[in-house]
Structure 1
Amino acid sequence: MIKRLVVMLVVVVTIGAVASPARAQTHYTGTLTSGATWVADVPAGWNGTMILYSHGFGPLTAQNAPDDETRSALLAEGYGLVGSSYSGRSWWALSSALDDQFGALAAIEKRVGDARRTIAWGTSMGGLISALQAERGAGRIDGSLTTCGLVGGALNLGNYQLDGEWALVRLLDAKARLVDYPTSAAGTAAATALSSAITAAQRTPAGRARVSLAAALFNTPGWFTGATPPAPTDYSGQQAQQAAELSQFVLGFIVPGRYQIELAAGGNSSYNAGVNYAALLHGNPREQQVRTLYRHAGLDLSADLATLTRDATVMADPHAVATLRRTSVPTGHLRVPELSIHTTADQLIPVEHENWYARTVAHADKTRLLRQGYVRATGHCAFRPAETIGALHVLEKRIQTGRWAPTTAAALNRAARATTLGEGRYVSFRPAPLTGARR
């Protein structure tokens, strides 16, 4: 029967990363009717819990864990793991991802039997998928662990990124197309032009001040490299880190990525026509940094903000907006418990997403189902396995008991330590509002 189903099974042995005996595991793969592929690993002595893993933005390749170390640790604890590639022609596969993920779950349960418990686990774009599963997956999942998740949704993502890119184009004279990319190469060319403009601007105080304004609109953290962030009032140090992360990392990822989102949406979903850029800066956690650097450079910040506001003309395609609103924006109407964790300095999916998400869940009167935790670290999804697996155990206890145990930083660090995989770096933290959120 296995050959007839075109499913490949191989038996391998994995040495667990926790203090437990090595477990034999069975590896399964298959293809869904949508064309998505799926992959699963189920250990001998499976504990009955299946992790339904949703991978982040990128090539449509099946994954069932965020990294090899975490996979080994989860298998050693007895968890089954499954995940799909998603299907479609765009890396932004939100229109198919939920169906493909639940299809992968059904496929593995046909081989090994029904899971006693299923937990969705999503990373980055996959974190948006796991958040949507928490809204739409009742009866198929029991809880959701969302890590570094794009929980502010695709419409907000596109808008605040457009705001930052617009500041680079208008104030630094970067020659870059910002929306409606005909090809992926056009997005790459735009990213190169924007990055080059930042590099050139870093040579003068005026240029650095304007880069700091763009970084604030991007929700860019002031910590990119190093064991600790620059001091709170080291505005020059923070600006240098922001310039590096934008020019060396962020723009090269997000600008070509816009092409993939537009491909999925059927057009441009972002706009800045009618946006008041002075209002956007007001209350931004980087506002004092921007004002200080502008003052030192002898620039008129009000004039620059007025220029950005006056000249903004980008309009969104209503069809594209409707598509992403339907497929790629959380409503907050959770139906199962969700624990969402984020690093405090995330360059690709800023931690401010968590502020927008908490407000959205509160508006839906579902706060009792949501808990959030913050790891003091720089980097996108830069968690240690102890931190994510510890969080998984906290969520699982909530599923088992029907009540949240404490999810303070201290409690999450105790859960991380209990995995024996290392120490946690959870801290008490309150993210600022997401600048540029309009949807």
Structure 2
Amino acid sequence: MGTRLTLLATAVILAAALPATAHAADSGTPCPGSATCVDGQLADGTPYTFAKPTRWNGAVLVDLDFAAGGLSSALTASLLRRGYAVGGTTRTITGWNIARAVDNQAAALGRFETAFGRARYAIAEGRSMGGMVAAGVAQVYPGRFDAAVPMCGGLGGAVGQWNQKLDTVFTLKTLLFRGTALPVTGIPADVPGTQQQWISAVTAAQATAAGQARIALAAAIGQLPGWGLAADGSTTAVPDTADGVEQGMFLALAGGPLPYLGQAVSSRRSIEQLAGGNPSWNTGVDYARQLTTAEPSQQNAVRRLYERAGLDLRADLGRLAAAPRVSADPAAVRYLERGIVFTGDLRIPVLTVNGTGDQISTVAQQHSYDALVRRAGNASLLRQTYVRTAGHCTYTTGEQQAAIDRMLTRLRTGRWPDTAPRTMNGLAAAADGGPGRYLPYTPPRFNRMYPAVGRPGCASRDARIGSETDVRPSMSERAGFTCGG
């Protein structure tokens, strides 16, 4: 680990030595009038952009995606008014190379400090993959960053997250589309065509009682929300009936502006190309057991819809148990492990934000991150918050501002301020005038926790990734995490 940190520090120094320009950036977006902007490229060609307000509070936010439109966002305007410097990179070069994206945040911070001087508080933050990267920064760069605010990030880690997505798609294929060419892994080059095939197939299944029952089962096993966005992006009401929950599951899978199946196809293709194979497996997975950990409303919906369709739920679970399993390519697993495996090793405070109806970064993944942090004895450094919202990263400006302001208070005082929903909603309303939607919430246990800590009866690593036995120790195993028994 010491060698890695030395190499990364050298890379940051070299990157900081490259020239930058202090002018309007962000694809031609003008620098806000009350700020000074700097932009340029990191050593690997990744663009970066920063804006520092005239009255700077000493805090700088570094975001994976800022240079791809951040200067024009309402959140940036709000942050600059409050004295924050804001900026970061894009994912255009790194994509699913998470390790490089994490390193780039430290390199970008170096560029900011070369231009403007050392920040008093450096905070990694971001949404979606940016949330995963921000949490990765907290683990890898506690000496360069002071805190992290990951929002709607895949905090089950890349390995766990893509195993969870495999569960959903595998269940759909096994129970609804067994005789078709719809791919579960090995996504072909025609990604748009494959996405449309999957979405069309699930949409057709939704028109039948049997299809609805099996869609509900697949979504419950994959821990998708039972609440979704309509096709026009509007938020539907939180459902309170079995039909409503199933409709929400369907919208999460194949409806709305960002369907789960679309992302499951496109990102898996990207990952398989980068990793040189399939990094996901379901060997040794008990899907009947996973169903028992779904939200109670989802379990109820599955039972009721199976009864209405005249289907035998136990028989379908038996078909899943008997279906040939998917084994991972060990080299591809190692690729995702090198990106980031969350171990719970925190040295700086982290405040997470997640929507309860997020279909991409499912809320159960927050449980995994919390469990690992507690296992490592670092619970005092973590606070997790939840927002009652459907869709991926669908927060208001005020809700995001509230989380960032709470973290700044934590850094200034050395103690956690109140992050209860009532307080967070008051801060959100003060920031943008709209009502906040923070709520008390306990996420379900993440089914595909990786590394698997404290889970009775989980299989050995050889069984989990397939029949290969000549596998170097994983990052999680080197860190001392093993399957609980």
TM over 0.5: yes
Alpha carbons of 1:423 and 1:172: their partners in 2 closer, same or farther (altered >3 Å)? same
Matched, 1:217 2:229: no
- Deviation per CA, 1:318-370, whole angstroms, max 9, x where unpaired? 11112212313211111100100111111111111111111111111111000
Q: Where does 1:23-34 land on structure 2 (aligned, <5 Å)?
A: 24-34=34-44
Aligned to 2:123: 119
Matched, 1:268 2:291: no
Q: d(CA) in 2 for partners of 1:306 and 1:387?
A: 44
Q: How much does 1:275 deviate?
A: 1.8
Moved more, 142-151 or 324-333: 324-333
Q: d(CA) in 1 for partners of 2:319 and 2:31?
A: 62
- Deviation per CA, 1:389-432, whole angstroms, max 9, x where unpaired? 11111111111111111211112122223435433111111111
RMSD (Å), alpha carbons: 2.1
Moved more, 420-429 or 295-304: 420-429
Q: d(CA) in 2 for partners of 1:154 and 1:72?
A: 32
Q: d(CA) in 2 for partners of 1:62 and 1:10?
A: 12
Aligned to 1:236: 243
Matched, 1:73 2:83: no
Matched, 1:84 2:85: no
* Among 372, 375, 379, the residue aligned to 2:384: 372
Q: Is the 8 A contact 1:40 1:64 kept in 2?
A: no
- Deviation per CA, 1:8-27, whole angstroms, max 9, x where unpaired? 5249563xxxxxxxx52122
Alpha carbons of 1:8 and 1:112: their partners in 2 closer, same or farther (altered >3 Å)? closer
Q: Is the 8 A contact 1:222 1:229 kept in 2?
A: no
- Deviation per CA, 1:115-137, whole angstroms, max 9, x where unpaired? 11111112111111111111122
Q: d(CA) in 2 for partners of 1:371 and 1:170?
A: 39
State the secondary structure of the residue aligned to 2:270: helix
* Among 408, 418, 443, the residue aligned to 1:406: 418
| Identical residues among aligned pairs (%) | 35
Q: How much does 1:307 deviate?
A: 1.0
Equivalent residue letter for 1:253 = Q
Q: Is the 8 A contact 1:155 1:325 kept in 2?
A: yes
Aligned to 2:105: 101
Q: Is the 8 A contact 2:53 2:80 kept in 1?
A: yes
Greater share of residues in strand: 1
State the secondary structure of the residue aligned to 1:111: helix
State the secondary structure of the residue aligned to 1:180: coil
Q: Is the 8 A contact 1:36 1:86 kept in 2?
A: yes
Aligned to 1:181: 187
- Deviation per CA, 1:182-208, whole angstroms, max 9, x where unpaired? 53x2x4443322222212212221111
Q: Is the 8 A contact 1:269 1:316 kept in 2?
A: yes
State the secondary structure of the residue aligned to 1:426: coil
Equivalent residue letter for 2:185 = V
Q: d(CA) in 2 for partners of 1:66 and 1:350?
A: 28
Q: Is the 8 A contact 2:31 2:71 kept in 1?
A: no
Aligned to 1:280: 290
Q: Is the 8 A contact 1:169 1:194 kept in 2?
A: no
State the secondary structure of the residue aligned to 2:34: strand
Alpha carbons of 1:350 and 1:94: their partners in 2 closer, same or farther (altered >3 Å)? same
Q: d(CA) in 1 for partners of 2:447 and 2:104?
A: 33
Please report the TM-score for the alignment, with normalisation by the length of structure 2. 0.82
Moved more, 345-354 or 197-206: 197-206
Contiguous gaps of at least 5 residues in structure 1: 15-22, 56-60
State the secondary structure of the residue aligned to 1:329: coil
Alpha carbons of 1:200 and 1:10: their partners in 2 closer, same or farther (altered >3 Å)? closer
* Among 243, 252, 267, the residue aligned to 1:245: 252
Q: d(CA) in 2 for partners of 1:358 and 1:37?
A: 33
Contiguous gaps of at least 5 residues in structure 2: 1-17, 452-485
Aligned to 1:5: 19
